[in-house]
């Protein structure tokens, strides 16, 4: 996992990590038990999920 901090906003960060099972990842994000962790770390919804795009030559 890599963590990046927004240069213009110290309260905004991006986490980059590899996910091999997107359905499981989404279920973890939406699990009610995750809410306590999000609150503890002041994570604000919506959580944006981005995926790499393969560029065709």
Would you kindly state where each structural domain of the chain is located, as residue ranges?
Answer: 1-57
pLDDT at 18: 86
**pLDDT tens for the chain, residues 1 to 57:** 889 998 998 888 888 888 889 899 889 888 999 888 888 888 887 888 887 788 887
Beta strands (DSSP E) in 1-57 are: 2-5, 13-16
Alpha-carbon distance of 8 to 32, in angstroms, equals 31
DSSP 47: P
Q: What is the pLDDT of residue 42?
A: 84
What is the H or E stretch that residue 22 is in? helix 22-30
**Is residue 25 within 8 Å of residue 19, measured between CB atoms?**
yes
Contact 5, 16 (CB under 8 A): no
**Residue 7 confidence (pLDDT):** 93
């Amino acid at each position: 996992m890599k963590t990046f901090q927004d240069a213009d906003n110290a309260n905004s960060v991006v986490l980059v990590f590899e996910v091999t099972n997107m359905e499981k990842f989404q279920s973890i994000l939406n699990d009610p038990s995750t809410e306590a962790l999000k609150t503890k770390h002041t994570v604000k919804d919506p959580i944006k999920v981005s995926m790499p795009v393969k560029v065709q030559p």
